[in-house]
Structures are given as C-alpha cells and as structure tokens.
Amino acid sequence: MSRNTLFVGSDLSKDICDVYAPSMGHEQFANDIEGFKSFKKWLNSCFWCVMENTVSYHQQLAAFLPSKGIQLSVVNELDVKGFIHIKLQRYKTDLSDAKMIALYRSIQTLEIGQPDPE
C-alpha cells in the first residue's frame, strides 16, 4: 500500500451502490455494469475500495474492480456493524454506512481481496 492510497467505502443494495471517499465525498451509482463503469471513472488507481460482504449484491462489483486495477477488500458486515455501534452512530442510511465503511479501514488492517471465481 502506497502513502497515496485513498480509501473509498461502498455500501451496496440491490439497485444502488453508495460510495464515499473523504477526499471526494458521496456519490451513487447503479449496481450494474454501466454503474460500475461510471464508478471506475470516478476512481483512479490510487483508490482502495472497501465493501461489506452482502451475500450477493457485492459480487459483481467485487469481480469488476480488480479487473480494472482497483484494489479491493470485502469485509464482514458484522465487523462493520460492531464498529458503527462503537462509534455511537445513531442513524443509519446508505451514505452513513458508506462513510463508516471507509472509516472502518482506519482501525483495521485489510488484506487485498480476490473475487471468488464462481
């Protein structure tokens, strides 16, 4: 990891991908290939994307990003939920979750993930 690595938190639902990077703010993209292409344009190779394991909603994006040179970590959603609880976050929105996922990286050393080939 470079000193210039920037972390972006991604909160995915069936149709929408909410993303947050402290240096760039919040953005929404469709959770489909066209949305992924727009997301990639928003990013550059200095970004490391962190997302929760959401059973199935994250899988396509988790396969897409590494193929485009973006580092990725998929984290356990219960770990993030515990982190949010510790931070005493009382409201829950997709944007707040994306922010907390990005912030979660500040307390946790993450491994670069590889998408499941299936």
Q: Is the pLDDT of residue 91 over 70?
A: no
* Domain total in the chain: 1
Which residue range forms the structural domain that includes residue 61? 6-104
* Structural element, H or E, at residue 8: strand 6-12
Position 115 in a domain: no
Confidence of residue 77 (pLDDT cuts 50, 70, 90): confident
Q: Note the pTM of the prediction, 2 decimals.
A: 0.72
* Structural element, H or E, at residue 102: helix 94-104
Cα distances from 22 to residues 7, 15, 89, 102, in angstroms, run 8, 23, 17, 8
Separation of alpha carbons 116 and 107, rounded Å: 25
Position 113 in a domain: no
Q: State the CATH number of the domain containing residue 24.
A: 3.30.420
